[in-house]
A and B are shown apart, each in its own frame.
Chain A
């Protein structure tokens, strides 16, 4: 178990270094990253000054090593626009995004998993068909469209909920639903497949033969076994929800890091954008490591195979 955990962490570190490298390459794709950080009407001298100030005139490998060195000391650079560390700006907005992602995860799990259970256990019924239609629909509506639709129905027409901002709890309802809809479909599908897989196994037949009802077998035995693939999905979905926040926060004027990313692109504050991309990728990598560890913990069989 410990061996496996160590191995998995080493993999994660390689992945994180890889992510840092890719982001570095992307930032240099335009040829000269200085141009990303100055206003469009900047003079040549201003650009040259900033270039040497930020060290973009040095050889590329020196820049790369410097960049990695800075990151290991939690130095993500200064925001060119606001003249404060980029990390601080992102940190001040982070709580809003965590709040929103938690709300969305709640919606996704709370609706998706029960829906998946019903779809797997009541195959062929009318309820299953209706749920399937809802799941496929949830998958086909882009988050910004469902966001705008919610705003139109509950914000503009019915005037039940606020259409933007992050004041009261009621402001969280619509963005959470819009953001969680896609994950909800994923959870429903994965739960359904996992349970159907389990239902075809011998222990289910044995349980039924002992006189247990389908519901009893499902709740006593199947759910525990089917939970394993679902845990992995949950971990991956956390990363997806954070990434999806970029769009949904723009729709709802929600003051989290997603809105900050878009605002920073518009004000050409690319170091802030870089911090956000790195941060979300770290979360992505770490949650998948945790998922794998939980996986092993829940299912001892995996340990033996490795």
Chain B
């Protein structure tokens, strides 16, 4: 794998972006905007209960207000809750990816640069972390620590860093033998400076591939944990927790599951399509198709 991957190749290839990628990018942008501006867009207070409007179908009107996507078991507007839920899903996913990228990439670069016992310890720890299925470790840790937004971010971030470490480590090993890095080392640059200014920019491409793949996975993990009742706690809306309620009312009110479920699917699908395309652009091996 050559090191001049990123910049040049990306610029060349961005001119031929397939339609599907453009479409999912737009979907992604719309979801992000809706989430960010949820307080402005949402027609109702997401936690306002209207007991006379419980489990009503999409389009139901009550006192001159229309519930476009129906209501849940407590008469709360599903559209508003789903919009607010998007904030939780995206927020947790973004922050936890940031946490695991910072932790994982720094450890990987350190292991690849210093070698020796540092390398042995870090990479052994990676092997060990990767032998516990992430969802299980997350379930156990959240159950021990108790629920909460920041705890969820930390738990997800700190269970998933080994993926980044593996990539950052392998890439750093390759890059660190290149002439310009040897040159700056001889010129007296310190390890931190070399890693941040010379190594990091050159290993960013492969890391970006991991970031997109992990982002979709984090959204799934957050919604899974919330579905199990271990993530975001009521009354706050999260797609997972809304769907967990919906599971109980599936026979009478399918829309409680369908609305956040469709949102979740659209979000993860878009991220995955985008990630696949990105990988094809940056990874010469899989570009064969």
- Give A contacts to B, CB under 8 Å: 11, 14-16, 18-19, 21-23, 26-27, 29-30, 36, 123, 136-137, 139-145, 148-149, 151-152, 156, 193, 196, 200, 239-240, 242-244, 246-247, 250-251, 261-262, 265-266, 270, 273-274, 276-277, 280-281, 284-285, 288
- Which bucket holds chain B's interface residue count? 35 or more
**Cα separation A192 to B224 with both chains bound (whole Å):** 29
Contact A141 B265, CB 8 Å, known A18-B125, A29-B145? yes
List of A residues within 8 angstroms of B227 by Cβ = 142, 144, 247, 250
Indicate if the CB atoms of B265 and A284 lie closer than 8 Å.
Answer: no
Indicate if the CB atoms of B144 and A27 lie closer than 8 Å.
Answer: yes
Partner of A140 from B139, B224, B250, B272 at Cβ < 8 Å: B272
- Give how many A-B residue pairs fall within 8 Å (CB-CB): 141
Which of A11, A22, A280: most chain B CB closer than 10 A? A22
Closest-CB distance, A229 to chain B (whole angstroms): 13
Contact A26 B247, CB 8 Å, known A15-B131, A243-B133, A284-B131? no
Closest-CB distance, B138 to chain A (whole angstroms): 10
B104 within 8 A of A: no
Partner of B143 from A18, A265, A285 at Cβ < 8 Å: A265
| 5 cross-chain pairs, A with B, having the tightest CB-CB distances, nearest first | A18-B128, A243-B133, A140-B269, A140-B268, A265-B143
Closest-CB distance, A158 to chain B (whole angstroms): 13
Closest-CB distance, B143 to chain A (whole angstroms): 4
List of B residues within 8 angstroms of A200 by Cβ = 288
**Cα separation A140 to B212 with both chains bound (whole Å):** 13
Q: Which of B110-154 contact A (CB under 8 A)?
A: 124-125, 127-129, 131-137, 139-141, 143-146
Indicate if the CB atoms of B261 and A148 lie closer than 8 Å.
Answer: yes
- Using A144-B224, A273-B140 as known contacts, list a sample of 5 further A-B pairs with CB atoms less than 8 Å apart, ordered by residue number in A: A14-B124, A18-B125, A243-B136, A265-B230, A277-B136
Contact A277 B250, CB 8 Å, known A18-B125, A142-B223, A270-B144? no
Interface of chain A, helix or strand or loop or mixed? helix
Partner of A145 from B128, B228, B265 at Cβ < 8 Å: B265
Indicate if the CB atoms of B133 and A148 lie closer than 8 Å.
Answer: no
Indicate if the CB atoms of B257 and A152 lie closer than 8 Å.
Answer: yes
Indicate if the CB atoms of B224 and A277 lie closer than 8 Å.
Answer: no
List of B residues within 8 angstroms of A240 by Cβ = 133
Binary CB contact string for chain B from 264 to 289 against chain A (1 if under 8 A, 0 otherwise): 11001101110010000000001011
B208 within 8 A of A: no
**Cα separation A18 to B139 with both chains bound (whole Å):** 18
Q: Closest B-chain residue to A14, C-beta based?
A: B124
Q: Closest B-chain residue to A282, C-beta based?
A: B131
**Cα separation A139 to B217 with both chains bound (whole Å):** 10
Closest-CB distance, A281 to chain B (whole angstroms): 5
Q: Closest B-chain residue to A12, C-beta based?
A: B131
Indicate if the CB atoms of A262 and B228 lie closer than 8 Å.
Answer: yes
Which of B131, B146, B268: most chain A CB closer than 10 A? B131
Indicate if the CB atoms of A19 and B145 lie closer than 8 Å.
Answer: no
**Cα separation A280 to B144 with both chains bound (whole Å):** 18
Q: Closest B-chain residue to A193, C-beta based?
A: B286
Indicate if the CB atoms of A142 and B268 lie closer than 8 Å.
Answer: yes
Closest-CB distance, A89 to chain B (whole angstroms): 17
**Cα separation A21 to B61 with both chains bound (whole Å):** 57
Closest-CB distance, B162 to chain A (whole angstroms): 12
List of A residues within 8 angstroms of B246 by Cβ = 148
List of A residues within 8 angstroms of B230 by Cβ = 265
Indicate if the CB atoms of A148 and B247 lie closer than 8 Å.
Answer: yes
List of A residues within 8 angstroms of B144 by Cβ = 26-27, 29-30, 36, 270
Contact A250 B228, CB 8 Å, known A29-B141, A265-B143? yes
Binary CB contact string for chain B from 24 to 41 against chain A (1 if under 8 A, 0 otherwise): 000000000000000000
Q: Closest B-chain residue to A143, C-beta based?
A: B224
Contact A123 B243, CB 8 Å, known A136-B272, A140-B265, A142-B223? no
Indicate if the CB atoms of A288 and B135 lie closer than 8 Å.
Answer: no
**Cα separation A21 to B51 with both chains bound (whole Å):** 50
Indicate if the CB atoms of B132 and A277 lie closer than 8 Å.
Answer: yes
- Give me 20 A-to-B residue pairs in the complex whose CB atoms sit less than 8 angstroms apart, sorted by A's number: A18-B131, A23-B140, A26-B137, A27-B140, A136-B276, A139-B216, A142-B227, A142-B264, A144-B224, A145-B261, A156-B250, A196-B288, A200-B288, A243-B133, A244-B135, A247-B224, A250-B227, A262-B139, A274-B140, A288-B131
List of B residues within 8 angstroms of A152 by Cβ = 250, 254, 257
Closest-CB distance, A194 to chain B (whole angstroms): 12
**Cα separation A288 to B128 with both chains bound (whole Å):** 12
Contact A281 B131, CB 8 Å, known A136-B276, A145-B261, A262-B228? yes
